[in-house]
Chain A
Amino acid sequence: MTLDTVIPARVLVTKIGLDGHDRGSRIVAAYLRDAGMEVIYTDPWQKLEAVVALALQEDVDVIGISSLATDHLLVPKLMKALDEAGLGHIRVIVGGIVPAEEEADLLKAGVSRVFHPGSGREEIVEAVAKLAVDAADDRTDD
């Protein structure tokens, strides 16, 4: 099925590992809210299992990981955990400080897109909206 236009996309904006930078994640949450999406926002330091549990319970379309202090290095593990939990349809994006070499690794692990500092409102909103539709299209259970 496709996302109904009336039903807002649901996005989990969260932080994993040890990082506490939240200026960017708060801004991104506000961007998505202003674009009419429903954002589940969490504290930093989420365990990978917690991200999986959150994504499952909240039935989100997109997970946005904000990572400024090298915590993106854990994202490949997260991708695996999501897959194992049957949440492979969820699109995962990462924003923050990700060096080019490692961006390639993330994409290879299944991350849909990496956003760098300087990304603007429009760019982020458009991409997330599209990924939410893709995720809904890929659902297998209804």
Chain B
Amino acid sequence: MNKIDAKVHSGGSDRETAARDWKSGYQAQVREGKTVRNRSGLEIQPLYWPDEEVDATYDAKLGFPGSGPMTRGIYPSMHRGRTWTQRQLIGLGRPEDFNGRIKKILKSGASALSIIPCNSVYRGVDANEVEPELLGTCGTVINTVQDMDISLADIPIGDISIGLNDPNPFTMLAQLLIVAEQRGVPWSKITGTSNQSDYISHFVANHMFYRLSLTGARRVQLDAIEWLAENVPNWNPLSVVGQHMQQAGATPAQAMGLTLSSAIQYAEDCMARGLEPNKFLERFTFFFDISISFFEEVAKFRAGRRIWARLVEERFGVSNLRAKRFKFHAQTSGVDLTRQQPLNNISRVAVQAMAGILGGLQSLHTDGYDEVFTTPTEGPAKVAIATQNILKHEAGLCDVIDPLGGSYYVETLTDQMEAEILRVIAEIDEQGGMFKAVENGFVQKAIGESALGFQEAVDTGEQIVVGVNAYQEEEEETVLPAIDRPDPDWMQGQIDRLAAYKANRDQGGVTTALSDMRTAARSESENTFAAIVVATRAGATQGEIIAVLRDELGFGRPLVVA
């Protein structure tokens, strides 16, 4: 069957005739009617035109931004009212190195800050417990309240939104809260997000980030959500992450479906604790990857927004508009960026960022063109921010809300992506929910297969990647700054600082706090996160806290399928 026939059915008979004429003209020009598919496997037609259906279903499917189906945006004004937050991920070296760098970045236009800790912190151990070569190479070494304080020196923490890349059990957040206490900033003024709170996505795709077992992480997460709602009301305790899964190989539709399934799991877990969805869902946020598959990404975001607004109403009986809003941060995909001809990455990032902006994001990180070499160095990071500024101010992207809405193609694709995303969600429902589907390896396996599929397309040349499997150049210009590893002496200084911190604290207080925390973890009724905050205040390091919790709640082991 000719694929185009499927579309030649709508409109009056004049249009039908015209469409048929066009089709034969098209076919005359395109001899080999090769099927075009996007990364989610959906077939893409060469042309789309109005469908009677679109008009009839406008109110139900699209409506107006800020309410109803939410397809066109979660706020009435979207970027025309307030543009997205520019959130650049940075982290490096020692706390003071981070502090110096973040001040510069804030000056150059970033409007929020984000802290990336060192890999050793992600693994839940202190600086003195790892091979010194690995300290501070990808993020900042932050083990104590003191480290957090230095990282945020001169930063008005009560007036700026802070993204903490702080996986379960959220020791950095505890440190931030104690710094606030010490500076006299009330917790109600602390705003931001626990960006790495989605432990499920870590077990799927981000193995560096889980410290506790799957079940242990579940317990602490719910404790934190509950405690933060009471004590730090403007903090977003949960960001449900699709980025890891898409970066690990999930197709855009798969990543969106799996992320929504995670969000469903978290919502159900919260409800099982007796929390009110109309309330806690106001604080759910999402984090996605934006690949270079431009239209597909736009459709992915529009479809996700629409599904979420409907789903929370249907599944959880949510009526509060604010609880239906699908707020998301997005990051341009590093997987699309290449080591070969790295300056090309600037173009790629611009296209990716546009897809996210037109898809209606609330917050954006753009990758540096040195993505495939190192964590962003200063020059490339500047270009990445400038790219956002150019899109924001020069390109006119913010003038119209949902500017691609009404495009025959984009609307059709949005519907199709929606169907595909719903299929993925149904598949996970069948597994008994996301927690189970990850515990038994189902999700990991599915994503691995998608990753292989994409690689196969690159290997066979079906997917062209400029500079990699096409348009290669023999001799490439070096445009990258040399990579600076942290100075071993400085890192030794950091280890010494940790030792001094431990020597100077009230050891008895630390021991008591840690043992209270152990008791809390053992009891079913006590709140572990409250105990973590107390232990942090008493001077316990993140490594010490996590060691105790691992002991009680289980060590996080990979659930990888080979």
Contact = CB atoms under 8 A, between A and B. Distances in A.
Interface residues of B, number: 41
Given A27-B451, A27-B455, A29-B562, A20 B137 contact: no
A69 interface: yes
Given A22-B560, A30-B452, A70-B138, A120 B459 contact: yes
A139 to B, nearest CB: 27
A87 to B, nearest CB: 20
A94 B66 CA distance: 50
A118 B373 CA distance: 13
B119 A118 contact: no
A56 interface: no
A67 B138 CA distance: 13
Q: Chain A: interface residue count, which band?
A: 20 to 34
Interface string B121-158: 01100000011011001100000000000000000000
Contacts of A17: 119, 131, 134
Contacts of A74: 131, 133-134
Contacts of B459: 120-121
Contacts of B340: 118
A95 to B, nearest CB: 12
B338 interface: yes
B483 A22 contact: no
A120 B469 contact: yes
A19 B339 contact: no
A130 B417 CA distance: 45
A71 B135 CA distance: 10
A14 to B, nearest CB: 11
A133 interface: no
B119 A117 contact: no
B372 A97 contact: yes
Given A26-B451, A69-B208, A18 B134 contact: yes
A19 B130 CA distance: 13
Interface in A110-126: 116-118, 120-121
Given A19-B119, A20-B206, A27-B451, A118 B562 contact: no
B119 A70 contact: yes
A44 interface: yes
A29 B562 CA distance: 8
A4 interface: no
Interface string B465-497: 101110000000000001101000000000000
B279 interface: no
B249 interface: yes
A73 to B, nearest CB: 4
Interface string A33-77: 000000001011100000000000000000000000111011001
A18 B137 CA distance: 11
A120 B456 CA distance: 9
B248 interface: yes
A118 B339 contact: yes
A120 B181 CA distance: 53
A108 interface: no
Nearest to B561: A26
Nearest to A76: B133
Contacts of A45: 123, 207
A101 interface: yes
A58 to B, nearest CB: 14
Which residue, of B131, B339, B372, has the highest number of chain A Cβ atoms within 10 A? B131
B135 to A, nearest CB: 10
B560 A43 contact: yes
A99 B206 CA distance: 23
Contacts of A43: 557-558, 560
A19 B119 CA distance: 8
Interface in A92-114: 97, 99, 101-102
B333 interface: no
A101 B455 CA distance: 28
Given A18-B119, A27-B451, A97 B137 contact: no
Interface string B441-472: 00000001001100100110000010111000
Contacts of B249: 23
Contacts of B482: 101
Contacts of B326: none
20 contacts: A17-B131, A18-B122, A18-B123, A18-B134, A20-B206, A20-B207, A21-B208, A23-B248, A23-B335, A23-B451, A29-B562, A43-B558, A45-B207, A73-B134, A74-B133, A97-B374, A101-B483, A102-B483, A120-B458, A121-B459
Given A69-B138, A74-B131, 14 more contacts: A18-B120, A18-B122, A18-B123, A19-B119, A20-B206, A29-B562, A45-B123, A69-B137, A70-B485, A97-B374, A101-B483, A118-B340, A120-B458, A120-B459
Would you list the 7 A-B pairs with minimal beta carbon distance, nearest first? A20-B207, A20-B208, A70-B137, A18-B119, A73-B133, A41-B562, A118-B468
